Structure 1
Amino acid sequence: MATEQFDVVVIGSGPAGEGAALTAAKSHRSVAIVERYFEVGGGCTHWGTIPSKALRHAVKILHDLRRNPLLREFHDASKLTYPQLLASAGKVIEAQVASRRRFYERNRVPVLFGEASFVDANTLEIQPPTGKPTRISGKHIVIAAGSRPYHPPEVDFSHERIRDSDSILRYDQHPFSVTIYGAGVIGCEYASIFINLGAKVTLVNTHDRLLSFLDDEIAEALSYHLREQGCVIRHNEQFKALEARERDVVLHLESGRKIKSDLLLWANGRTGNSDKLKLDRVGLKANSRGQVEVNQHYQTAVPHIYAVGDIVGPPALASAAYVQGSHAVQHMLDPSIAPHSTATIPSGIYTIPEISSIGRTERELQEAKVPYEVGHCSFKNLARAQMTDERVGVLKIIFHAETMQVLGVHCFGDNASEIVHIGQTVMAGSNNDIRYFTQTTFNYPTMAEAYRVAAYNGINRLT
């Protein structure tokens, strides 16, 4: 069997694989990418980030139609069903796939479709959907195989009323009531989507608070807002059993509580797609969640084999994955580069309204005994928010009380994932000082003006 040789072989064409492949190609290295799905883009494009966020956008428009008195003439649009709203994601996915296909064509990166597995430390076997397997060889190999929803063995995911975060995007009915088990990012996003569709939603959290990695104030704002919209949140609950019936599904919890609904969405964890890679052939082993251990440069225990994206675990963000893939290839080219830092990677949570943050939280600073102060701006006080009627939200800037350095930016509200990037830019620059926001002219009226208001609010607190 002939084996084609490449400088870099990438397994997976999601954001992590794309970042690795294009960085290598632009550095004039021969690159091939292996994709087991029939199109490029990975889970991010086909059954994760893109379709779920397109769905969220459609639901947000529906929400705006219902509450805006200027749009009452379009009341029939407010009767759109879940399947109809899902269909809106199709064109976005097609456009994303076409763009990514062009990226590979323009950079002369061949895409080989099939299931990849290791033969030895430099050789992969690719089993296409039909036909005989082929082999390729790489001086370096990047594993960017992504992840999938975790399926506990005691849950029957073949039942039409039991869904995970992939199969929920193929549900063909409009649910009256939904139970979501797992209150992480995915669980909170779907709770927000279904509650704004008019469904009765119960969000079951296995911990004592929502999204504990967030700043406490922002997490509490999300919890309050979900409850205000009608979502029932059950904290500190653990799964016991699931009873799937013809017309409904009943979730049994260890506390003795039973929750009945039309649909159950299991959103409790993800598993790395490492099970078919035959890692044992190269001396590697995945953990219980299918994740591969790497160092700060994304090298595995085999130095010329790298792993990036969801398959290495947190932060498991599409944005971070692309940068991880790029960094891995940069390290191949120059092993002396500094380790990749995740400190400047923002988080984006696409609830309605959104959450986005970067930097440190109040809790982290308190534990580290760092002197800090906080500046706030409530969106309800901004002219732009009043015009758009997006008054729910707050921008929070945390800064060092002595050096004035911005330490964290946390935002809850409409377009938070866009707003946070102003703070990110200042934090990454040489003039990282909260007074930058008071000395800069912002367009008026804008949401960006929140930075000036929050900065003055915080500075005025100093003694």
Structure 2
Amino acid sequence: MAEHHYDVVVIGAGPSGEGAAMNATKHGKRTAIIDDKAMVGGNCTHWATIPSKALRHSVKQIITFNTNQMFREIGDPRWFSFPRVLQNAEKVIGKQVKLRTQFYARNRVDVFSGQASFIDANRLAIKGGRSDEVIHARNIVIATGSRPYSPPDVNFRHHRIYNSDTILKLSHTPRTLTIYGAGVIGCEYASIFAGLGVKVDLVNPGSRLLSFLDDEISDALSYHLRNNGVLVRHNEKYESVEGDDHGVILNMESGKKIRSDAFLWCNGRAGNTEKLGLENIGLEPNGRGQLATDEHYRTEVPSVYAVGDVIGFPGLASASYDQGRSASSDVTGDEHFRFVEDVPTGIYTIPEISSVGKNERELTEAKVPYEVGQAFFKDLARAQITGEAVGMLKILFHRETRELLGIHCFGDQAAEIVHIGQAIMNQEGSANTLNYFVNTTFNYPTMAEAYRVAALNGLNRIF
């Protein structure tokens, strides 16, 4: 049995694992990464973020073709099958894997394929690769990610019952689809399937969509999902899910029944920790398989760190990458450590949503005297040119100091637009005010110009 010695070993080659490994090797640490898949990239690349966003992009192009009057000269609106649209997403996955494989090779990070499990706090056994191996490490970073939570009373082996991973292997286009769970993933898939002309029922156990968002943005999402044919059902909890040869019946606690061609479960995720042998080092995950860490991403075992989805909130690829970098900054003692917070939301519904900072409800409850500046995309020349007129930018600022408190955006390119506001919010002192947007010349016509429009709108509310 081969044995290897490293300064830092990372378990999991998704965004958090990559961030940890790259930062460690750049600081001269002998580094290895272990993944249970044959190809790097983690669930983010193969099952979650990348394929679903590539899928969304293709669907958005189909919607544009089918609704833009200019294309009628080419031909009638077209129907596209789900498997056909998925093919484009698979090309993107291949490019991402190639790129990330090159990162590890170029930076001299050894990549092991197989299932890692702890022997003790500084040794890992790897099984299922080319041969069984033992790895010694001064520090180990757990970055194993998450998977869809699967309740035992739902039969996910049934050919019409899917979760957010297996839906990417759907080999036909259902006429009707029930989605249970209206979190970020449920709302994104509701948008995608509605865009393909599927009749979607979105069942929400809660009372409103994405309640962590600003209320106005949440309301706008509700309206546009419904406007695109999604039936949203709030305050409904499932009792049972029954699949047969012709479809799936969702039985609700309220007595309602919904029948559809296919069923998609999107209610929660669980950390990938059950095969790590954590009992051998005295670590115990919570009921969702997640690990507790301190403000430096250290577990209760001094030599072991945990980052990314496996530690729970916020469970975003963007935050995971930075958490991985920060954990290895703690190991190497460099000056770049930070606890990752104030992460922007990026929600890839159609239209998309992004925000950073406080929302109106939070500011009202804290009795902060804020004011609102708004820019509606329908009034922007660039949005009129592109035909993407749905949406708005909302700036929340302190009415006395004009300090920026929150940026909320709904509409095309929202996840890009939000970063301009984020950059100004992160400036020190008087540089972080609404005045920046009033006293800065923006290119015209652009979507970024929404900041100038919203800032002037906000100033008009101050008396």
Q: Same fold (TM over 0.5)?
A: yes
CA distance in structure 2 between the aligned counterparts of 1:128 and 1:432, rounded to whole angstroms: 53
Output the amino acid matched with 2:216: E
C-alpha contact 2:118 2:125 (8 A) present in aligned 1: yes
1:280-429 pair list within 5 angstroms: 280-334=279-333, 339-343=338-342, 345-429=343-427
Taking the aligned partners of 1:75 and 1:421, their CA distance within structure 2 comes to 39
Partner SS for 2:116: strand
Task: Note closer, same or farther for the CA distance 1:76–1:47 as it changes in structure 2 (3 Å cut).
Answer: farther
Residue equivalent to 1:62: 62
**Are 1:87 and 2:70 counterparts?**
no
Distance in 1 separating the partners of 2:269 and 2:278: 19
C-alpha distance in 1 between matches for 2:400 and 2:24: 44
User: Aligned-pair distance for 1:73?
Assistant: 4.1
Paired letter, 1:400: H
Residue in structure 2 matched with residue 31 of structure 1 by the alignment: 31
- In structure 2, give the amino acid aligned to 1:358: V
Equivalent residue for 1:19? 19
C-alpha deviation, 1:70, in angstroms: 1.2
1:398 aligned partner, one-letter code: L
Comparing 66-75 and 79-88, the one that deviates more: 66-75
In 2, distance between residues paired with 1:138 and 1:82? 45
The C-alpha deviation readout for 1:116-139, integer Å capped at 9, x for no partner, is 00000000000124x541110110
2:401 maps to a residue whose letter is T
The equivalent of 2:448 in structure 1 is 448
Are the structure 2 counterparts of residues 37 and 25 from structure 1 closer, same or farther at C-alpha, using a change threshold of 3 Å?
same
Q: 2:398 corresponds to which letter in structure 1? A: H
1:179-206 per-residue CA deviation (whole Å, 9 max, x = no partner) reads 0000000000000001111010000000
SS of the equivalent of 1:342 reads: coil
Number of equivalences: 461
Deviation readout 1:391-418 (Å, 9 max, x if unpaired): 1101000111111111110000001011
For residues 410 and 347 of structure 1, the distance between their equivalents in structure 2, rounded to whole angstroms, comes to: 9
- AA paired with 1:125? A
Superposed CA offset, 1:213-253 (max 9, x none)? 11111001000111111110000000100110101100000
Match for residue 255 of structure 2? Answer: 256
Question: 8 Å contact 1:385–1:391 — kept in the other structure?
Answer: yes
More displaced 10-residue stretch of structure 1: 334-343 or 288-297: 334-343
Could you tell me how far 1:78 is from its partner in structure 2?
2.3
Q: Per the alignment, do residues 338 and 367 of structure 1 end up closer, same or farther by CA in structure 2, a change over 3 Å counting? A: farther
- Deviation, 1:94, is 0.6
Separation of aligned partners in 2, 1:443 and 1:210: 35
Mark the CA change 1:20 to 1:76 in structure 2 (over 3 Å): closer, same or farther.
farther
Check whether the contact 2:323–2:340 (CA below 8 A) recurs between aligned residues: no
Aligned-CA RMSD value: 1.2
Q: Is the 8 A contact 2:2 2:132 kept in 1?
A: no
* 1:76 CA displacement: 6.2
- SS in structure 2 of the partner of residue 437 of structure 1: helix
Secondary structure of residue in 1 paired with 2:167:
helix
CA separation in 2, counterparts of 1:254 and 1:335?
54
Aligned residue identity for 2:324: G
CA distance in 2, matches of 1:189, 1:79: 20
Aligned residue in 2 for 1:152: 151
Paired residue type of 2:120? D
Decide whether the 8 Å contact of 1:117 with 1:125 is kept in 2: yes
Written as runs of structure 1 = structure 2, the 5 A alignment for 1:125-144 is 125-129=125-129, 132-144=131-143
Partner of 2:4: 4
Judged with a 3 Å threshold, the aligned counterparts in structure 2 of structure 1 residues 336 and 414 are, in CA distance, closer, same or farther, namely closer
| Distance across 2 between alignment mates of 1:401 and 1:320 | 31
Cα pair 2:327 2:337 within 8 Å, conserved: no
Distance 2:359 2:305 in 1: 31
Query: How far apart are residue 339 of structure 1 and its match?
Result: 4.6
Tell me if the contact between 1:181 and 1:265 (Cα under 8 Å) persists in the aligned partners.
Answer: yes
CA distance in 1 between counterparts of 2:335 and 2:422 reads 26
- Which secondary structure state, in structure 1, belongs to the residue aligned with residue 364 of structure 2? helix
Q: Hey, what's the Cα distance between the residues in 1 that align with 2:389 and 2:56?
A: 19
CA distance in 1, matches of 2:433, 2:459: 11
Q: Matched residues in 2 for 1:338 and 1:49: separation?
A: 26
Matched, 1:191 2:208: no
In structure 1, what residue type is equivalent to 2:98?
Answer: A
Q: Separation in 2 of the partners of 1:337 and 1:15?
A: 18
How many angstroms apart in 1 are the aligned matches of 2:439 and 2:38? Answer: 52
Q: Could you tell me whether the CA contact under 8 Å between 2:126 and 2:134 is conserved in 1? A: yes
Moved more, 429-438 or 144-153: 429-438
Shift of 1:2: 4.3
Deviations 1:62-94 (A, max 9, x none): 000001111124446722211100011111011
Q: 1:65 touches 1:75 (CA, 8 Å); kept in 2?
A: no
The letter for the 2-side match of 1:87 is Q
Deviation at 1:106, TM superposition (A): 0.6
For residues 41 and 73 of structure 2, what CA distance do their matches in structure 1 show? 39
Q: Which letter does structure 2 place at the counterpart of 1:389?
A: G
Q: In structure 1, how many angstroms separate the alpha carbons of the residues matched to 2:419 and 2:115?
A: 38
Tell me the distance in 2 between the aligned counterparts of 1:411 and 1:25: 37
Partner of 2:203: 204
AA of the residue aligned to 2:146: S
Q: Does the Cα contact within 8 Å between 1:181 and 1:268 map onto a contact in 2?
A: yes
* Amino acid across the alignment from 1:26: K
Query: Which amino acid in 2 is paired with 1:138?
Result: A
**What pairs with 1:232-251 in structure 2 (closer than 5 Å)?**
232-251=231-250
One-letter amino acid of the counterpart of residue 313, structure 1: G
Is the 2:326–2:336 contact (alpha carbons within 8 Å) kept by the matching residues of 1? no
Where structure 1 has 5 or more consecutive residues not aligned to the other structure, the ranges are: none
Instruction: Give me the TM-score of the superposition, normalised by structure 1.
Output: 0.98
Distance 2:40 2:337 in 1: 31
Aligned 8 A contact 2:178 2:263 in 1 = yes
Cα distance in structure 2, aligned partners of 1:28 and 1:351 = 41
Whole-Å Cα distance in 2 between the matches of residues 60 and 439 of structure 1?
35
* Whole-angstrom CA distance in 1 between matches of 2:433 and 2:264: 44
Letter in 2 for 1:292: L
Task: Provide the C-alpha distance between the structure 1 equivalents of 2:280 and 2:334, rounded to a whole number of angstroms.
Answer: 26
Deviation at 1:360? 0.7
Deviations 1:34-53 (A, max 9, x none): 01001000000001100010
Instruction: State the SS of the aligned residue for 2:206.
Output: coil
